[in-house]
Amino acid sequence: MEKEVKEIRVRFAPSPTGNLHLGGARTCLFNFLFARKNKGKFILRIEDTDQERSKPEFIEDIIENLKWLNLIWDEGPYFQSQRLEIYQYYLQKLIQEKKAYYCFCTPEELRAEREYQIQKGEPPKYSGKCRTISIEEAKKRIIKGEKAILRFKVPLGKIIKIKDLIKGEVKFKTDLIGDFSIAVIENKKIRPLYNFAVVVDDQEMKISHIIRGEDHLSNTPKQILLQKALKFKVPEFAHLPLILGPDKSKLSKRHGAVAIRNYKEEGYLPEAMINFLALLGWSSRDNREIFTLKELIENFSLENVQKSPAIFNPQKLDYINSIHIRRMPLDRLLEESMPFFIKAGFISCEIESETFPPAYGGQELFFKYKITTTGQPISYERLKRILSLYQERLKKLSELSELVDFFFKKPKLEVEKLVWKTSTPQETLKILEEEKKLFSQIEEKKWKEKALKETLLKYAEKIGDRGKVFWPPRVAVTGKEASAPFTEIAEILGKKETLERINRALNLLKKQLNG
């Protein structure tokens, strides 16, 4: 007989009580990879039953950033808040079958009970006090306006075994769980609670594998109990190790930037984030570390997921980001960099037309927008050349504002900086004067990196020290001790601007030496 091929269906189910963060993104990534690798479906479900803490802006943030990361879902987003009747139905079923009951204990009573148990060294769990209240009585009390919650009757004396795809077999004794809450009744309305809503949704959405953070491992026996009580199929589980902060506690807001949007704003590329996140807990068989999303899909397997938690290491992220920056086609890198050029005030950008010619490399940007610098139009090619000088020097795009500012405004010069370590201000002045002469002789048409380099090399041979020759003009045009090479910068700046800047440096040196 043909074995029934089960469709692989997984989900990412965030609560919109905060921005999409690193942990959530990684959970989502692993679900996504698992689905794609196994030709399954990936579903997005927003768990927004907690109306107090759920905010629309967080829903937006989650969706926006998942799209940014290229983690695109096949179904959804489903919203739990729109599925309340479904939960009602199953809740009623449990009540009718006497598998759930109303509980009227107040939070104070429960707390006291708990403290007493802990003091006595007993496992803290609900006593089952309200189990005996009849449905009729319970309904009367609710109509009178009493607050109540629904509890699930946990069967005693059983052991729940979980075959976790990552952790292996994990056992829980039902005796230690206690009747847990599955819904609250507020203003005569029923609101399902986490464990219950999850179980119903996973069934309704035919989820085959639940891949989620390890923090949910202790919820799993409760969910299995509910699944059995409702005669649902129990899905497979895979609990991912947590991502930790430097202090080894679960990564959270107090560790600083944890929202994906923070990283987007800092200039991390989506492919770098994906690559980095995949490496937190997963590794490939062959020791490879740099992957595109497509390559991750090909190589992914839950078998290679680590059991132990991973500490988030920003330095490694920087490294991975720099690699992806270097590998990215310049057109796309420029597209990614535009917001950073704008934010730094280097260029401004006005929408010119809503329509633009069909894909024309990165240049379509320039059809759609009018891009200017200090009032003058700036060409696509020019920006691209500027960026290309720094493509292999960038760790993240936000560094652009510091690195390429001199292309957009005259740099601040200091005499000490202009002087090479083996030289003096007098000698620097002399050499720069000579270089000015040499550069002036180069025809506008031949103002290219190669010609400039030849000129300087020849001159350096005469002087006998390359530093003395190459350093001063570079600082004169950039104002920086560290930058891309002078010759490449000068080509982009052009003859006129380069000579102007060398003049500025000369004047400064003269002023210093005379005064």
Residue ranges binding RNA (CB under 7 A): 107, 110-111, 114, 118, 121, 123-125, 167-168, 170-173, 176, 180-181, 214-215, 217-219, 241-242, 244, 247-250, 279-281, 283, 285, 287, 289, 303-304, 306-311, 313, 315-316, 318-319, 322, 392-393, 420, 466-467, 469-471, 474, 481-487
Kindly state the smallest distance separating residue 352's Cβ from RNA, in Å.
35
Cβ-Cβ contacts under 8 Å for 356 (sequence gap 6 or more): 364, 367, 368
The smaller minimum CB distance to RNA, of residues 207 and 217, is found at 217
Kindly state the smallest distance separating residue 392's Cβ from RNA, in Å.
5
Question: 206, 233, 253, 450: which is the annotated catalytic residue?
Answer: 253
The smaller minimum CB distance to RNA, of residues 287 and 376, is found at 287
The smaller minimum CB distance to RNA, of residues 13 and 371, is found at 13
Kindly state the smallest distance separating residue 473's Cβ from RNA, in Å.
8
The smaller minimum CB distance to RNA, of residues 51 and 306, is found at 306
Kindly state the smallest distance separating residue 374's Cβ from RNA, in Å.
25
3-class SS letters over 90-109: HHHHHHHCCCEEEECCCHHH
Residue 86 in contact with residue 191, Cβ under 8 Å? Answer: no
DSSP 267: T
Cβ-Cβ contacts under 8 Å for 28 (sequence gap 6 or more): 12, 14, 66, 69, 71
DSSP 362: B
Kindly state the smallest distance separating residue 304's Cβ from RNA, in Å.
6
Distance CA 294, CA 71 (A): 11
Q: Which two structure tokens, joined as six digits, stand for 275?
A: 């690559």
Kindly state the smallest distance separating residue 266's Cβ from RNA, in Å.
16
The smaller minimum CB distance to RNA, of residues 189 and 316, is found at 316
Q: How many CA within 13 A on the CB side of residue 70? A: 14
The smaller minimum CB distance to RNA, of residues 97 and 247, is found at 247
Outline where 355-465 has alpha helix (H): 364-368, 380-390, 400-403, 415-418, 425-441, 449-463
Q: Cα dihedral sign for 338, 343, 344, 349? A: positive
The smaller minimum CB distance to RNA, of residues 87 and 172, is found at 172
What DSSP string runs through 216-248?
GGGGHHHHHHHHHHTTPPP-EEEEEPPEE-TTS
Q: ∠ CA(179), CA(51), CA(189), 5° rounding?
A: 60
Q: Cα dihedral sign for 212, 217, 222, 224? A: positive
For residue 37, indicate whether it is catalytic.
Answer: no
Kindly state the smallest distance separating residue 33's Cβ from RNA, in Å.
15
Residue 72 in contact with residue 43, Cβ under 8 Å? Answer: no
Kindly state the smallest distance separating residue 515's Cβ from RNA, in Å.
28
Cβ-Cβ contacts under 8 Å for 112 (sequence gap 6 or more): none
Buried b (16+ CB within 10 A) or exposed e, 481-512: eebbebbbbbbbbebeebbebbebbbebbeee
The smaller minimum CB distance to RNA, of residues 313 and 372, is found at 313
Contacts 24+ apart (CB under 8 A), 336-343: 336/267, 336/269, 336/397, 337/267, 337/387, 337/397, 337/400, 338/365, 340/267, 340/397, 340/398, 340/400, 340/401, 341/383, 341/400, 343/401
Catalytically active residues are: 253
